[in-house]
């Protein structure tokens, strides 16, 4: 894939002012200004985030009502059911709330719908389960904001419902007793980008405050919230950044029992980062719901089941992911209608549990908004993923009359539709995307954060750079560009077409690194000077730590 390198203009006066106040490398000041940080105090808040800086849970609309109802349930010894979605966000939310309340209340249960037989959101089967178990209160986590019919059904059964959801609300809200969602109209909660587990956390925080429970009894489960924030790809800004930072600390020092068991199987030789959570922990938790039943993930996370079950399911998921991606790409290659701005593929036999992953994989090869569909319960169901900067939710909403159900975010969504609507849907979805997408949106880009000289790369520079972490959406690991580097003569292809780099600048400064799956770029290095964009990382080898570059792209110098 050919990338376009982009550069953002930045206010040099603001950089100069911050440089005078902080007295650190000017490149670091440039990175801060690009994050909206222009003073010493703002930098202090950014670098020294504290749990004391979290917003009051009672500034969230519906929180007072929700806590009053939970207190009433506890007082009357009513049974409470935590109902969560089957992905990482939903299962961690259920696990966090269950573990927190279990410390002082025994009349609780949990329910995770089956991805394959029930689908996304609150199901009638789940409400029937709550009825059978004599639950008087159901707390929906990471789902429920569009569950008008199911919540009506719960009300008919005499079950009160509290919705804790972060997905975009529809025009009509469900008839729940209380709705906790910062994105609903008139909600004054200052931060709008919490994960579903994050809203569950705020519910527990509100309960703790109202009942004079020490916050430490909740903070001990911040590792679960960190896994949710990382895996659900929510912005790593504001409150999420604080929660993720202290969640990572909890995960790396004193993880909750289920998480500790998973970590022991993976045996990572360094402290976990957000990236490690996304690629190592998240997929294992998700694998339960993708390949079998997500209840197994909750059982592991609350310490009821051996975590090895998730390892086995993840290996099954990886095999399916690879084979279905190959099949989908082949289908797109054979498609006679190539004049589209979208990828929409369907195969009735594909596994429902991996279609979202496959959609992301396809975009890595064919850079267009993508939908992957399979067949389940007599209709088509699948996942949508978008390219960077394009809101796929809007064109999906414009196709609403062709779908039986849909929901999600700007860059990822789930949907279902009748089989007979497939061709009409493909055409309308492509038309609606074409109306909104810009030609530039279909060009894969790498955003360069700053120019960096090899002489600036030092342990002290990297130490401050690491304080920008945790990295994630809207607070990504900085990508640097260094121009006119040359091969020292020791760069070579290793492994599966990876390029081991050994580079020097015109002043004799040297650095090593790796360019994954870029073995074909070796000829560029051998022909002359190159420009490279990369992230900086520490490399631990034989007990020695050194800084190296992880290349994002390489091109010949002009």
DSSP 117-173: TT-SS--HHHHHHHHHTTEEEEEEES--TT-HHHHHHHHHTT-EEEEE--SPP-SS-
Picking from 144, 113, 88, the residue whose alpha carbon sits closest to that of residue 293 is 113
Token pair belonging to 198: 């994050």
Neighbours of 443 (CB within 10 A): 14
- Asked if 222 and 230 touch (Cβ cutoff 8 Å), the reply is no
Token pair belonging to 126: 């789940």
Picking from 172, 176, 171, the residue whose alpha carbon sits closest to that of residue 154 is 176
pLDDT of residue 246: 98
pLDDT of residue 336: 64
Structural domains of the chain sorted by starting position, each given as residue range(s) with its CATH number in brackets: 4-8+446-556 (2.40.50.460), 53-309 (3.90.1640.30), 340-442 (3.10.310.30)
**Side-chain half-sphere exposure of 426, counting CA atoms within 13 A:** 16
- Asked if 98 and 108 touch (Cβ cutoff 8 Å), the reply is yes
Pairing of strands 135-141, 160-164: parallel
Report the C-alpha gap between 442 and 465 in whole angstroms: 31
Picking from 280, 355, 367, 279, the residue whose alpha carbon sits closest to that of residue 321 is 355
DSSP 278: I
Number of DSSP helices (H) and strands (E) in the chain, helices first:
21, 19
Report the C-alpha gap between 394 and 146 in whole angstroms: 16
Could you read off the pLDDT tens digit of each residue along the chain, which spans 558 residues? 889 999 999 999 999 999 999 999 999 999 999 999 999 999 999 999 999 999 999 999 999 999 999 999 999 999 999 999 999 999 999 999 999 999 999 999 999 998 878 878 899 999 999 999 999 999 999 999 999 999 999 999 999 999 999 998 989 999 999 999 999 999 999 999 999 999 999 999 999 999 999 999 999 999 999 999 999 989 999 999 999 999 999 999 999 999 999 998 888 878 999 999 999 999 999 888 777 788 999 999 998 888 778 888 888 888 889 999 999 999 998 876 678 999 999 999 999 889 999 999 999 999 999 999 999 889 999 999 999 989 999 999 999 999 998 887 788 899 999 999 999 999 999 999 999 999 999 999 999 999 999 999 999 999 999 999 999 999 999 999 999 999 999 999 999 999 999 999 999 999 999 999 999 999 999 999 999 999 999 987 777 888 999 999 999 999
Token pair belonging to 121: 């959101």
Residue 179, H or E segment: strand 178-180
pLDDT of residue 541: 77
Report the C-alpha gap between 432 and 263 in whole angstroms: 44
Q: Which residues pair with 498 in a beta bridge?
A: 494
- Asked if 399 and 428 touch (Cβ cutoff 8 Å), the reply is yes
3-class SS of residue 497? coil
Residue 30, H or E segment: helix 26-34
Which of 202-206's residues contact partners 24+ apart within 8 Å by CB, and which partners?
202/57, 202/60, 202/63, 203/57, 203/63, 203/66, 203/67, 203/97, 203/139, 203/162, 203/164, 204/96, 204/97, 204/100, 204/101, 205/54, 205/57, 206/57, 206/58, 206/60, 206/63, 206/66, 206/67
Neighbours of 495 (CB within 10 A): 11
| Residue owning tokens 């206010």 | 11
Give Cα separations from 436 to 383, 409, 441 (angstroms).
20, 16, 10
């Amino acid at each position: 894939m050919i990338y376009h390198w982009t550069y953002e203009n930045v206010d040099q006066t603001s950089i100069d002012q911050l440089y005078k106040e902080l007295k650190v490398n000017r490149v670091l000041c440039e990175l801060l200004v690009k994050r909206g940080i222009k003073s010493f105090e703002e930098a202090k808040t950014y670098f020294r985030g504290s749990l004391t800086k979290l917003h009051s849970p009672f500034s969230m609309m519906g929180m007072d009502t929700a806590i009053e109802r939970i207190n009433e349930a506890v007082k009357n010894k009513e049974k409470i059911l935590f109902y969560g979605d089957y992905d990482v966000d939903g299962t961690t939310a259920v696990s966090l709330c269950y573990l927190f309340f279990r410390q002082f209340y025994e009349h609780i249960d949990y329910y995770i719908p089956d991805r394959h037989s029930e689908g996304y959101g609150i199901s009638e089967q789940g409400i029937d389960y709550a009825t059978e178990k004599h639950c008087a209160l159901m707390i929906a986590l990471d789902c429920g904001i569009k569950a008008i019919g199911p919540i009506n059904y719960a009300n008919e059964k005499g079950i009160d419902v509290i919705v804790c959801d972060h997905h975009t609300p529809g025009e009509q809200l469900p008839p729940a007793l209380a709705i906790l969602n910062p994105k609903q109209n008139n909600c004054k909660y200052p931060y709008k980008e919490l994960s579903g587990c994050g809203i569950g956390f705020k519910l527990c925080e509100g309960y703790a405050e109202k009942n004079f429970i020490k916050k430490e009894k909740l903070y001990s489960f911040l590792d679960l919230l960190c896994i949710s924030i990382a895996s659900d790809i929510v912005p790593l800004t504001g409150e999420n950044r604080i929660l993720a930072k202290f969640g990572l600390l909890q995960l790396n020092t004193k993880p909750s029992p289920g998480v500790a068991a998973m970590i022991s199987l993976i045996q990572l030789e360094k402290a976990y980062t957000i990236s490690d959570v996304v690629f190592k922990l998240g997929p294992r938790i998700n694998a339960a719901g993708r390949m079998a039943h997500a209840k197994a993930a909750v059982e592991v996370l609350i310490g009821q089941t051996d975590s090895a079950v998730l390892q086995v399911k993840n290996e099954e998921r990886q095999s399916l992911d690879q084979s279905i991606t190959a099949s989908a790409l082949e289908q797109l290659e054979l498609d006679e209608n190539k004049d589209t701005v979208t990828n929409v593929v369907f195969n009735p036999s594909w596994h429902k549990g991996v279609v979202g992953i496959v959609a992301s994989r396809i975009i890595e090869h064919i850079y267009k908004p993508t939908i992957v569909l399979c067949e389940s319960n007599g209709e088509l169901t699948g996942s949508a993923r978008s390219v960077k900067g394009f809101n796929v939710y809007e064109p999906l909403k414009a196709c609403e009359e062709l779908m039986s159900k849909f929901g999600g975010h700007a860059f990822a969504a789930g949907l279902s539709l009748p089989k007979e609507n497939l061709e009409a849907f493909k055409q309308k979805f492509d038309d609606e995307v074409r109306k909104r997408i810009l030609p530039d949106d279909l060009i894969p880009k790498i955003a360069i954060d700053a120019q960096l000289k090899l002489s600036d790369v030092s342990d002290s520079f990297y130490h401050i750079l690491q304080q920008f972490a945790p990295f994630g959406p809207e607070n990504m690991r900085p990508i640097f560009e260094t121009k006119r580097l040359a091969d020292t003569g020791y760069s070579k292809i290793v492994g599966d077409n990876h390029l081991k780099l050994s580079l020097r600048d015109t002043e004799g400064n040297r650095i090593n690194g790796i360019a994954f799956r870029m073995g074909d770029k070796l000829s560029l290095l051998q022909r002359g000077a190159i420009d490279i964009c990369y992230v900086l990382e520490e490399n631990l080898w034989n007990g020695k730590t050194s800084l190296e570059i992880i290349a994002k792209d390489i091109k010949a110098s002009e």
